[in-house]
Amino acid sequence: MKEKKLTYKDAGVDIQAGDDFVDRISPMVHSTFGPEVLTGIGGFGGLFALDISRMKEPVLVSGTDGVGTKLRLAFLTGMHHTVGIDLVAMCVNDILVSGARPLFFLDYFATGRLNIEQSSDVVKGIVEGCRQAGCALIGGETAEMPGFYRAGEYDLAGFAVGVVERSRLIDGSRMVPGDSVIGIASSGLHSNGYSLVREVFLNVHHTDLEKTIPALGRPLGEILLEPTRIYVRSVLSLLEEKTVKGMAHITGGGIPGNLPRIFPEGCSARIRKGSWDVPAVFSVLSEYGGVPEDEMFRTFNMGIGMALVVSSGDTGEVLKRLRRSGETAWIIGEICEGNREVILQ
């Protein structure tokens, strides 16, 4: 009997689909390019011409992250156009806290079998995130891995590189007791704590993601997939003045787990609960799951996506400039003497 001749496509990898996908996303990706980008899509590496002519000691700042189990909500709802924004946000917000301006971004997309429509929606989100952050999407990898992922599922990873003048690095070393902590509003859950979110809404209550919960006003799936806010443009405008002493991206671990990462020796912070507006999704989540308040604060951002530390005398001007940039912000506490901890009051 004549043996069947196998192809790569028979094994689950469709090279032609990969080529078609690249053709589909190329115009979107090119829309993020500026004159600094020297390569197109399809090369072995992305080339970026860094103009440091006006910088004395440029420092490159890099960050990498993913979207986590929030992706499960995208699989269940079929909404794939927002998780790409999350991917960019988690990376660029991290490097922003050092004062860095994002330059370029790379992504890694892995799936069992490439679905061009679904994958294109993901890339649309990545492109939108790069536009919001003012950086170029100069490269990426699409890996088709049959047998590794269930049908319709994928994973994402992102990588961002930015630059900052060494003399303008923000590392928290200048903060002192008496400084103010300003919180900038999150857009909701952002991209952390979704294992608990899924446990409460899907495993315990079996909530229909298309259901509109009265307290939320929109279908639950839309609320849970609200993309992470990108703070790059509004915060960079502040950094033109040397008023910001420290910044913390409030991700997994919440305010108590992230703010201490920037404290110098001898400093803590008192944070006043009730000094900002907490989005309704957090109270609904707490009520549905019977999640204690301290656990909510240890797991979620609770409505604060980025925290800034500034001198008390600069708070009025910083708040005014943030609000002028479209952000909602509050004074949520102050730096005090202590051993690098957050005291929630």
What's 5-61 look like in SS3?
Answer: CCCCCCCCCCHHHHHHHHHHHHHHHHCCCCCCECCCCCCCCCCECCCCCCCCCEEEE
Packed helices 15-30 and 116-133: angle between N→C axes, nearest 10 degrees: 30
Overall CATH class of domain 15-168: alpha beta
Indicate the DSSP class of residue 37. B
Find, among 175, 92, 172, 185, the residue nearest to 130 by Cα. 92
Find, among 85, 75, 150, 70, the residue nearest to 118 by Cα. 75
Indicate the DSSP class of residue 93. H
In one letter, which amino acid is 121? D
Cα R_g (the chain), whole angstroms: 22
In the sheet that holds 180-185, the strands lie side by side as 244-249, 304-310, 180-185, 329-337, 267-271, 342-344
- Grouped pLDDT means (10 residues each) for the chain, 345 residues: 70 76 84 89 87 90 97 96 98 98 97 94 97 96 92 96 96 95 98 96 94 93 97 93 92 96 96 96 96 96 98 95 96 96 95
Find, among 248, 270, 64, the residue nearest to 172 by Cα. 248
Q: What is the pTM of this model?
A: 0.94
Domain residue limits, the chain = 15-168, 180-344
SS3 category, 251: coil
Q: How many CA atoms, within 13 angstroms, populate the side-chain half-sphere of residue 59?
A: 13
SS3 category, 305: strand
Indicate the DSSP class of residue 282. H
For residue 125, how many other CB atoms are within 10 A of its CB? 24
CA distance readout (Å), 87 to 79, 84, 173: 15, 5, 29
Packed helices 83-96 and 116-133: angle between N→C axes, nearest 10 degrees: 30
For residue 178, how many other CB atoms are within 10 A of its CB? 12
Burial of 302 (0-12, 13-18, 19+ CB in 10 A): buried
CATH number belonging to the domain at 180-344, selected among 2.30.180.10, 3.90.650.10, 2.40.50.100, 3.20.20.140: 3.90.650.10
CB 236 within 8 A of CB 101: yes
CB 171 within 8 A of CB 47: no
Q: What are phi and psi of 81, to 5 degrees?
A: -90, -5
Indicate the DSSP class of residue 312. G
